[in-house]
Chain A
Amino acid sequence: MSGAVVELVGITKSFPGLIANDAIDLDLRPGEIHALLGENGAGKSTLMNVLTGIYQPDAGRIFMQGVPVRFASPKDAVAAGIGMVHQHFKLIRAFTVAENVHLGWQDTPFRTSAGLLEGRTRALAERFGLAVRPEARVEDLSAGEQQRVEILRVLARGARVLILDEPTAVLTPGEAAALVRALRGFVALGYAVIFISHKLDEVLEVADRITVLRAGRKVATLPAAECDQARLATLMVGRELGAGQRHSAGKRQLGPIVLQLAGVSANDERGVQALADVDLAVRGGEIVGVAGVAGNGQRELSEVLTGLRPVTEGQVRIGGQIMHHANPAEFLAAGIGHIPEDRLRSGLAPSMNVTDNAVMREYSRPPVTRGGLFSPGAAMTLARHIVADAQVLVPNMRAPVRNLSGGNQQRLVARREMRVAGQALVAVYPTRGLDIGAIDTMLRSIAEMRDRGVGVLLVSEELDELLGIADRVAVLFQGRIMGVFPTAEAEPERIGLLMGGRAEAA
């Protein structure tokens, strides 16, 4: 026992109507990268919140080097050498790297200067083998660089256990490889890393041991060498998944054009042009994928297609009908469903209950509203129906929607939108934040929409996902369509080049 850097014994934590962790044991050995794997809502976040002192467990004990410890607050956990890098970085964007590293740190000298902090930061960066530019402002850094700053912040405070929540989600493959090298260097000092991830291939590549959680319980802890993807997937979801499923159907009759952009330009919030002269058509019964690095006009494209953003030039047509005004209600009436990029900002009202959120797109028609009168009973019935279809786990229909896990929120939004997408579905990163079981279900329901003759515009960062399901792929770069190809002719390399702005050789 005393060999473990950290040992969790019988950790149990329940919330009203839900046991998030049920007697979970976990031991971290010195020098290992330990992957924590599980579906959304499996209890990973709760367990890490217990380990970092954010939650107090209802039962169970924590040992560090064999000594029992209590973390009454995150401060205690940090003092004991437990550091966490969250998926969403907690850096101050207007500050420099050096300032961020020293912020709220008791070792920061009382009298400081920019030069002094930068020097200290440079020394720390060298010591931990993390390449950062101490004088750079965080807002100018790539996601990978920001992550290194976060890790440096944690390591500088003497962390012996480093917890990383989906660290590679924001990284390019090159950056991810560099991260893994840095982690190897860290654990070589006898420390340990907990690596939370959804990606099975990555977990197998990076981790020494893998712990799988399901529905709040620990299913297994296995050496990575004894695992393969199929086994892990089965452990995680508790059922066999069809290996390498493809959702594209065979030959189909395409319907008429349902979504069409003709010469469309649009601006972003700051009034800067974000879409330039875009021509794009989606027919009923096909899936058009939009590939591109995030921030190249995807948000504006989806907003123009759903009536949330006016065009500065060009025409939007839904089912042949010209949409003169950017009015979401008209687009909804025309049969457009929209799974938005940021569900908590625009797709849901987090403080309202599950019922009110579920009926958000159908509240104005019978049975929910008749003659201007809103029927809470009918809304509840409809919401229960949507929730059941979406396979969302809710403790109670009156619970605020912010209490649902991210995956459940995403499933709820997706099902709600599929119901109203009579003509077309605009789905932006619909699988973001979902685990493999849920991704599979989500892609299958998108494929079903297509089979029913609905046109689908699918924006995704996962090229494999797009190539697996789309009939055609359009590449977006700096607000322009760089090309549209049938998926069969779209080699990943060629798309990769276009995503980077390399025009096609003539």
Chain B
Amino acid sequence: MIRLQRVSTVGPWIVVAARVLSVAAALLVGGAAFAVAGYDVPMLAGSVVRGSFDSLFGLEDLGLLFSPLILTGLAAAVALRIGLWNIGGEGQFYAGAIAATLTGLNLHGPTPVMLPLLALAGFAGGAAWVLVPALARAFLAIDEIITTLLLNFVAVLLVNYLCTGPLRDPAQAVTSASARIPYELPPLLDDLHWGLGGSVALVSVMAVLFARTRWGYEVRLSGANRHAARYAGIPVRRRLIQVLLLSGGLAGVAGMLEVVGTVHRLQGGISNNYGYLGIMVAVLAGGVPFAVLPAALLMAVILNAGTVLQAYGVSNYEVLALTGLVLLFTAMGERIAYYRLSRPMRA
């Protein structure tokens, strides 16, 4: 007789294999659902692959989705390292976008000076948006999941207010948006800008920060066991605040890259759910900085697929449901990886 047995540790490659298989299973189940709904799944899959990878245009679209997902995913992953759930990536993304827009519209200088300044402004905006939840978490033990989540709605409304009120560009008759920001990121390809390079660089910086600095060790220890960290002499409260500010700042930089690099103006809806999808990216990546890259790429492909499939009458919601399936199967795969089949009691 074959039985399931739980083991206490598994090798890293089993974990990776479980992730890959989970994603594949989610796509299969999703494909089956599409087939039941009457779609020609192989044809759709083919056009997604062609639409994403077969043309420069498709690759650029993919890249434009990839970059913000890397940063919002990294933001959530950074918070996970100290055991916190930053659900507020969406709000911090908007806060970073607002800060960058205000800076870009009101300060004037040469582009090489202004771009770093705008990035700083984006970081500061995102960090400021998470400041109150961070302090509440550190000093009053108020759950950061709730506070960061609720501030997302405030940020959305604030952006809508700014775009229809003080920042509204009167030249734009139809949509409510701010005036065009007079600075641009240098292009990597035609439309794809250097934000992607910056995002990848930030992943490396975070990886080094956690693995190779004293601060990173302190954060990892604080995340693994807060009591032990305090015992070891680490100012845990300070680290909690710093990590959340860093996390919010990274999401803010994502917002800045989106307004300065891609959209060029502040307007409602630019976050494109990147903040929430970033949480999924971080979970898929298991909180590991470098693993954010493949996880964000997967999410970008699914989002891009949504755009391609709309041409075939598939609604965007059906594609977004796929992301939910991916998360669900990954969560299951993470558990299942710790079980193996065994034949008990053979002498």
Chain A residues at the B interface, C-beta cutoff of 8 Å:
9-10, 16, 56-57, 59-62, 70-72, 306, 308, 327-329, 331-332, 338, 340, 345-352, 356, 360-361, 363-364, 369, 372-376, 399-400, 402-403
Asked whether, in the complex, the Cβ of B345 is within 8 Å of the Cβ of A360, the reply is no
Distance from A472 Cβ to chain B, minimum over Cβ atoms (Å): 27
Choose from B217, B224, B342, B344 the contact partner of A363 (Cβ within 8 Å).
B217
Asked whether, in the complex, the Cβ of B9 is within 8 Å of the Cβ of A340, the reply is no
Distance from B50 Cβ to chain A, minimum over Cβ atoms (Å): 43
Distance from A355 Cβ to chain B, minimum over Cβ atoms (Å): 11
Q: Find residues 290-347 in chain B having any chain A CB closer than 8 Å to their own CB.
A: 342, 344-347
A residues in contact with B230, CB < 8 Å: 308, 328, 346
Asked whether, in the complex, the Cβ of A364 is within 8 Å of the Cβ of B214, the reply is yes
Known: A352-B220, A372-B215, A373-B214. A56 touches B232 (CB 8 A): no
Please report the C-alpha to C-alpha distance between residue A403 and residue B233 in the assembled complex, in whole angstroms: 25
The answer to the question of B249 belonging to the interface, with a C-beta cut-off of 8 Å to chain A, is no
**12 new A-B contacts at CB < 8 Å, known A56-B5, A352-B221:** A59-B346, A61-B345, A70-B345, A72-B3, A332-B232, A332-B233, A338-B231, A346-B228, A351-B225, A363-B232, A372-B215, A374-B213
Distance from A74 Cβ to chain B, minimum over Cβ atoms (Å): 12
Distance from B340 Cβ to chain A, minimum over Cβ atoms (Å): 11
The answer to the question of B216 belonging to the interface, with a C-beta cut-off of 8 Å to chain A, is yes
Known: A328-B232, A361-B232, A376-B212. A10 touches B347 (CB 8 A): yes
B residues in contact with A400, CB < 8 Å: 9
Please report the C-alpha to C-alpha distance between residue A348 and residue B227 in the assembled complex, in whole angstroms: 9
Q: Select from chain A the residue with minimum beta-carbon distance to B210.
A: A374
Q: Select from chain B the residue with minimum beta-carbon distance to A60.
A: B347
Asked whether, in the complex, the Cβ of B8 is within 8 Å of the Cβ of A349, the reply is no
The answer to the question of B1 belonging to the interface, with a C-beta cut-off of 8 Å to chain A, is yes
6 contacts between A and B (CB under 8 A): A72-B344, A329-B234, A331-B233, A332-B232, A351-B224, A352-B221
Asked whether, in the complex, the Cβ of A374 is within 8 Å of the Cβ of B225, the reply is no
Asked whether, in the complex, the Cβ of B344 is within 8 Å of the Cβ of A360, the reply is no
Asked whether, in the complex, the Cβ of B231 is within 8 Å of the Cβ of A349, the reply is no
Asked whether, in the complex, the Cβ of B231 is within 8 Å of the Cβ of A356, the reply is no
The answer to the question of B154 belonging to the interface, with a C-beta cut-off of 8 Å to chain A, is no
Known: A56-B342, A348-B228, A349-B225. A329 touches B214 (CB 8 A): no
Distance from A125 Cβ to chain B, minimum over Cβ atoms (Å): 35
Known: A56-B345, A349-B225, A403-B8. A360 touches B213 (CB 8 A): no
The answer to the question of B211 belonging to the interface, with a C-beta cut-off of 8 Å to chain A, is yes
Asked whether, in the complex, the Cβ of A56 is within 8 Å of the Cβ of B344, the reply is yes
Known: A61-B345, A356-B220, A399-B9. A363 touches B231 (CB 8 A): no
Asked whether, in the complex, the Cβ of B1 is within 8 Å of the Cβ of A340, the reply is no
A residues in contact with B233, CB < 8 Å: 327-329, 331-332, 361, 364
B residues in contact with A56, CB < 8 Å: 3, 5, 342, 344-345
Chain B residues at the A interface, C-beta cutoff of 8 Å:
1, 3, 5, 8-9, 211-218, 220-221, 224-225, 227-235, 342, 344-347
Among B228, B235, B347, the most chain A Cβ lie within 10 Å of the Cβ of: B228
A/B pair count, beta carbons within 8 Å: 100
Please report the C-alpha to C-alpha distance between residue A70 and residue B225 in the assembled complex, in whole angstroms: 39
Instruction: Name the 6 nearest CB pairs between A and B, nearest first.
Output: A329-B233, A56-B344, A349-B224, A349-B225, A346-B227, A70-B345
Known: A70-B345, A352-B224. A347 touches B231 (CB 8 A): yes
Known: A72-B1, A338-B231. A374 touches B345 (CB 8 A): no
Known: A332-B233, A345-B227, A363-B214. A403 touches B344 (CB 8 A): no
Please report the C-alpha to C-alpha distance between residue A329 and residue B347 in the assembled complex, in whole angstroms: 55
B residues in contact with A345, CB < 8 Å: 225, 227-228
A residues in contact with B235, CB < 8 Å: 329
Known: A347-B228, A349-B225, A361-B232. A57 touches B345 (CB 8 A): yes
Choose from A10, A60, A346, A350 the contact partner of B231 (Cβ within 8 Å).
A346
Distance from B226 Cβ to chain A, minimum over Cβ atoms (Å): 9
Q: Select from chain A the residue with minimum beta-carbon distance to B1.
A: A72
Distance from B175 Cβ to chain A, minimum over Cβ atoms (Å): 48
B residues in contact with A347, CB < 8 Å: 228, 231
Asked whether, in the complex, the Cβ of A374 is within 8 Å of the Cβ of B217, the reply is yes
Q: Select from chain A the residue with minimum beta-carbon distance to B344.
A: A56
A residues in contact with B1, CB < 8 Å: 70, 72
Known: A56-B3, A61-B347, A356-B221. A372 touches B213 (CB 8 A): yes
Q: Select from chain B the residue with minimum beta-carbon distance to A402.
A: B8
B residues in contact with A306, CB < 8 Å: 231
B residues in contact with A349, CB < 8 Å: 221, 224-225, 228-229
Asked whether, in the complex, the Cβ of A403 is within 8 Å of the Cβ of B220, the reply is no
Choose from B8, B212, B231, B232 the contact partner of A374 (Cβ within 8 Å).
B212
Please report the C-alpha to C-alpha distance between residue A216 and residue B1 in the assembled complex, in whole angstroms: 27
Q: Select from chain A the residue with minimum beta-carbon distance to B213.
A: A374
Q: Select from chain B the residue with minimum beta-carbon distance to A328.
A: B233
Please report the C-alpha to C-alpha distance between residue A62 and residue B5 in the assembled complex, in whole angstroms: 19
Distance from B201 Cβ to chain A, minimum over Cβ atoms (Å): 19
A residues in contact with B225, CB < 8 Å: 345-346, 348-352
Please report the C-alpha to C-alpha distance between residue A340 and residue B225 in the assembled complex, in whole angstroms: 14
Please report the C-alpha to C-alpha distance between residue A345 and residue B227 in the assembled complex, in whole angstroms: 7
A residues in contact with B229, CB < 8 Å: 349
Please report the C-alpha to C-alpha distance between residue A346 and residue B213 in the assembled complex, in whole angstroms: 23
Known: A70-B344, A374-B214, A374-B216. A340 touches B231 (CB 8 A): yes
Distance from B256 Cβ to chain A, minimum over Cβ atoms (Å): 27
B residues in contact with A331, CB < 8 Å: 233
Please report the C-alpha to C-alpha distance between residue A332 and residue B228 in the assembled complex, in whole angstroms: 14
